[in-house]
Chain A
């Protein structure tokens, strides 16, 4: 090639530099999600580190049900009761939410068609849009009197109320992920089953459900993650007293709600303030693990 041609093709003009510049800019914005996740961990860890090094007794932190950070003689920092309460509510909420959500997802994905399907999806989307604090308000003002009246108990705030609210909050997420899982099953599977004479239900039960199994599992896991992380609704629905719940009407306290209720009253840098950040680190790790596992399960399916 003759040199003058090479020059015309190697046009490092304004547009070339603009292109490179934007590529680099987009790259830095692209990695922002990683920066923020690492940043969240570092900053929460930085604030909680003092407590973890000086005041925390690992055994007490995880095994003691006594959370008395403001006690003058001997403050104790035990989150066992809160973990137990949060876990109990999450399990109960999932037990309520999963069958209904998966049933609803089967209906939307396999039975409903056209306009009905669109309308149903929009209604589920609306359910997902209601803010957490409004759910908390509903727990206080609608569910609380309802539970008191129906079950004849003195207080309607507690495990049952929180679990019902949480089930309703998690339902749209679980439903839409479950529906995605059904949609990911190739249509050829269904066609093959129906060509063999299977009814639609037989196809769902014998072919679609087993094929979507992992997607459904990860939908459930994300529901659990939501349960552990939910803050405002649980703060308002739980009754917020430290207690290992023994019945569904017992009041309890969630990890998230403790942070929300106490952070405003602590002095920056005090052991109490730092202990709340330590709870935050614990929550970060739990939800991190749950999300990673859910993602791993789904991805495992796509590869296999």
Chain B
């Protein structure tokens, strides 16, 4: 009674063919990631060792390790987090918990989209114009970190907003009915429930900030510095810029060195992303609502 007709069979075949075509397209997108990561691992892993991670570059950066760059990247990321996380989470709290549906809120959303879309080199120009020249921080960790913080702010705002929104409204209503103020509700009920989601966004921001080169090039990162920074007003080396320098600016670099630097950088970034994904999955499993 329900035997498939010729038309049905032909339609099914067309569908199978298209499914395959799209599958192949997807695989073609994913293959480069696998090729790239495996090439980096094959060519970069011979140069990675404890001394590589924990000694200074020597001999015009053609030998030695990457310690100052690694150390500098950690500095830059931490200082930028200190600036962008409180600001970004607070902005998300405003948008999610307070903001009425009006023109201003619409403008804030547009500004967030635009902030994320401004090219990284324009952020660099802003960093030079505002922090280095106008506020006279000079080329320093502070100027570079603030530039990074503004650049990655949309990441924090959007991901925090999403996790605040995922806290069900009845949680808030129950709390208000107990006589709590808005802020008490946010602090004691909404934020603890959104915490893991916000953490995921922060980790993704770390991954993004660690990999950026253009915004820090002229605001605080130096190509080579023989000493470690002592305060936020010093310049520093940074891993991403170090990769650019050893790949393009320094002559006679042994091939394995830039591969090693690239592998460490990609390793840090992908590790952060894996942690974020793991937390997200863990969170999804635990959610009771």
Residues of A within 8 A of B (CB): 15-16, 18-19, 22-23, 25-27, 29-34, 36-37, 39-40, 43-44, 46-47, 99-101, 103-104, 106-108, 111, 120, 122-127, 129-134, 136-138, 140-142, 168, 171-172, 175, 199-202, 204, 222, 225, 228-232, 236, 256, 259-260, 263-264, 268, 276-277, 280, 283-284, 287-288, 290-292, 295
Q: Across the interface, do B126 and A39 meet the contact criterion of CB distance under 8 Å?
A: yes
A122 contacts B277, C-beta separation under 8 Å: yes
| A292 lies within 8 A of B213 (CB) | no
Contact A31 B183 (CB under 8 A): no
Give 20 CB contacts A-B under 8 Å: A16-B181, A22-B182, A30-B108, A103-B25, A104-B29, A122-B277, A127-B32, A129-B270, A130-B36, A131-B240, A132-B213, A141-B247, A142-B36, A202-B15, A231-B119, A236-B244, A236-B247, A259-B121, A259-B124, A260-B214
Report the minimal beta-carbon distance from B29 to chain A, rounded to whole angstroms. Answer: 5
Q: How far is the CB of B235 from chain A (nearest CB, A)?
A: 13
| B137 CB, min distance to chain A CBs, angstroms | 13
CB <8 Å contact, A133 and B243: yes
Q: Is B148 an interface residue (CB 8 A)?
A: no
Kindly provide the distance from the CB of A296 to the nearest chain B CB, expressed in whole angstroms: 10
A175: which B residues are within 8 A, CB to CB?
29
**Contact indicator B128/A33 (Cβ below 8 Å):** no
Instruction: Specify which of B11, B22, B183 lies most central, judged by the most chain A CB atoms within 10 Å of its CB.
Output: B22
Q: Are B99 and A30 neighbours in the complex by a CB distance under 8 Å?
A: yes
Beyond A23-B183, A33-B154, A259-B125, is A201–B25 a contact (Cβ under 8 Å)?
Answer: no
User: In the bound complex, how far is the Cα of B104 from the Cα of A136, in angstroms?
Assistant: 39
Given A33-B111, A136-B244, 11 extra CB contacts under 8 A: A33-B112, A106-B22, A111-B23, A129-B273, A131-B211, A133-B244, A142-B35, A168-B29, A263-B218, A276-B125, A287-B119
Contact of A34 among B32, B107, B117, B182 (CB under 8 A): B107
Q: Which residues of A contact B14 (CB under 8 A)?
A: 199, 201
* Number of cross-chain contacts by CB at 8 Å: 267
Q: Which B123-170 residues sit within 8 Å CB-CB of chain A?
A: 123-126, 128-130, 133-134, 150, 153-154, 157
